[in-house]
Amino acid sequence: MKKVIHTDNAPKAVGPYSQAVQMGDFLFCSGQISIDPKTNEVFTGDVKTQTEMVLKNIEAVLAAAGMKYGNIVKTTIFLTSMSDFAVVNETYAKAFTEAPPARSTVAVAGLPKGVNVEIEVIAHR
């Protein structure tokens, strides 16, 4: 049975989608960008801070479903420039110190709200 996951500790959806959807033991999380959930302000400054904010938002959505980073089995990182790869990778690595999930990283022409990084995850209970 499909269950929509929502938390006020992560940004509200900026379109017609859910923050995450749980199906059985799997959690499919929509991509997160660097929006502060307390103020709904978008941060478009340095990519390291953007990535830290994205990871905090992912953590909040996971927590709303009773999960943690360790439950993530797959991530997809979207970057507006591959020149940001090293900084994003270094920041990302701090969240996944043991048994990191499978991952893809792709360059895209643009992301919502003018941000430079978006990350989506799939988790399993």
- Burial category of 16 from C-beta neighbours within 10 Å (exposed 0-12, middle 13-18, buried 19 and up): exposed
Residue 119 to residue 19: CA distance in whole angstroms? 12
State the average pLDDT for the chain: 97
Domains of the chain by residue range: 2-124
Give the separation between CA 124 and CA 106, rounded to whole angstroms: 23
How confident is the model over 84-92, as a mean pLDDT? 98
Give the fold, CATH level 3, of 2-124: 60s Ribosomal Protein L30; Chain: A; (3.30.1330)
- This prediction has a pTM of 0.96
pLDDT of residue 96: 94
